[in-house]
Amino acid sequence: MKIAVIGGGIAGLVAAYELVKGGYRPILIEPDRAGGMIRSRSHEGFTLELGPNVLVERPDMVSLLSELGLTPEIRYPTVKRYGQYVWWRGAARKVPAGLGELCRTPLFPLRVKAAIPWRLMRPGLLRPSAQDLSVLDFFSPLIGEDATRAVLDPVLKGIYGGDVDQLSARTIFPGLWSAAVEGLSIAGYMRRRPRGPKPSIMVLNGGIQRLVDALIERLNGRIEYVHSRVQRVSESSPRQWTLSLADGGEVRVNACVATIAGGGLSSIVDGVDEALSRRISGVRYASLTVVHLAVPRDERLMRDAFGVLFPGGMRDDLLGVMFNSLIFPHVAPPDKHILTVMLGGAQARGKSVDQAGLQERLPTLVSDLLGISVPEWISLTEWKEAIPQLQVGHHALVASLDECEIAHPGLVFAGVDRGGIGVSDRVRIAREAVQRVYKSVA
């Protein structure tokens, strides 16, 4: 049986790897560089992550790293109780990590602090009044609109690049959403969750690209690699798929895993499910710019902090500044700290980056905001249409993807538009997709 994997990002590489483990020789179709946004670079003692900064220690990721022999290369934060900060009223404020910090933080009004214990115990407080709500509308009954904007807006901008009044609560917080639909209290939801420590963040010695490189090495000689772009997928007969390529060629397979998303996916499925194609094309994508700066190691950064995330409206669409070497000291030389600055998101509205102007302005902006010396410029990487905007109603797209898989056995979707945008999520989604391929062609 022939199986194709469309797209060579991390999900495509993992899907191909899982198929090889299952005894298949998959066909991997990718027109560009394998690995997608995962790119690491060494520069004068720095380890620069040009895309994702960290991995999350989730089961699928941990087992994959173990299988690839990368467990010894994992590096955990040297600061065990680091904090995440948000910018609020002209200063960095720590996101509360416990009841004591909640009582002291200025991020929550006094009336909200007083009401939270009762609200946590109240069944049905977050019960949705619609099939989906924005994060702002969903959390406001618990912590109020102002606190939701103060805390969750910068945090979710740093992850999804979007706004709390547009992002989907049902998609981003699926467990809490399900509990709310059942009428559970927040305390009841917390009791129902599996017990155990919070998953740690981690990096790989030498950069996250080590994961991509290890997958490519394992796939070498075990897959067919087609350096082209799929333009159309058509079902020639039950469990027989024809993939038309941009170079005029065709690939005929019994099943395929589509790990691409957005416009690329919309165009190739148009002949299979026109309604799904239209729905996919309606998803907006936000661009992301990653800048690396350096300051002396003795510079007084915020103590035990991973970084600061910013609300909308900041100059140059600033999203966040991460202090990578503060909790992962090995990613910078002994005399320097590395700062990763993220800009863009939905608020940038797709406008192009003026690199020369940004190089002139950004170090001074970071210096003024953080009260440090003006950092030195290292690099800039721009990612066009990098982050899907999982807006209210996004669950309907996921349901349409599921319905299409049922109606057309052998065609399976594992793109970022399923909702998992982190690297660990992409690994899980790819593994689950391969299992659905096996069931669909059994």
Residue limits of CATH 3.90.660.20 in the chain:
285-388
Helix (H, G, I), strand (E, B) or coil at 391: strand
pLDDT attached to residue 441? 78
Query: Other C-beta atoms within 10 Å of 114: how many?
Result: 11
Q: Where in the chain is the domain with CATH 3.50.50.60?
A: 3-36+59-68+207-283+390-440
Terminal-to-terminal C-alpha distance of the chain: 11
Burial code of 25-58, b = ≥16 C-beta within 10 A, e = fewer?
ebbbbbeeebbbbbbbeeeeebbbbbbbbbbbbb
**C-beta neighbour count of 165 within 10 angstroms:** 16
Per residue in 224-271, pLDDT (tens digit) is: 999 999 999 999 888 899 999 999 999 999 999 999 999 999 999 999
pLDDT band at 31; cut points 50, 70, 90: very high
For CATH 1.10.3110.10, list the domain ranges present in the chain: 108-192
Residue entry with tokens 């898989």: 405
Structure tokens belonging to residue 200: 């740690």
Q: Which CATH number fits domain 3-36+59-68+207-283+390-440: 3.40.50.150, 3.40.980.10, 3.50.50.60, 3.30.420.40?
A: 3.50.50.60
Select from 3.40.47.10, 3.40.50.720, 1.10.3110.10, 3.40.50.300 the CATH code of 108-192.
Answer: 1.10.3110.10
Distance CA 430, CA 146 (A): 38
Strand locations in 276-335 (E)? 285-296, 305-309, 318-322
- List the strands of the sheet with 83-88, edge to edge: 91-94, 83-88, 305-309, 318-322, 336-344, 285-296, 376-388
Query: Are the CB atoms for 119 and 179 separated by under 8 Å?
Result: no
Task: State the pTM of this model.
Answer: 0.95
pLDDT tens digits, residue range 363-387? 999 999 999 999 999 999 999 999 9
Nearest to 134 by CA among 170, 181, 103, 184: 170
Q: What is the DSSP letter of 134?
A: B
- Give me the residue label for tokens 């946590």: 120
Residue 352 has pLDDT above 90, yes or no: no
User: Concatenated DSSP letters for 3-37?
Assistant: EEEE--SHHHHHHHHHHHHTT---EEE-SS-TTTT
Q: How would residue 34 be classed by pLDDT, with cut points 50, 70 and 90?
A: very high
Residue 440: the pLDDT is: 85
Domain 285-388 classification at class level? alpha beta
> Looking at residues 117-126, what average pLDDT do you find?
93
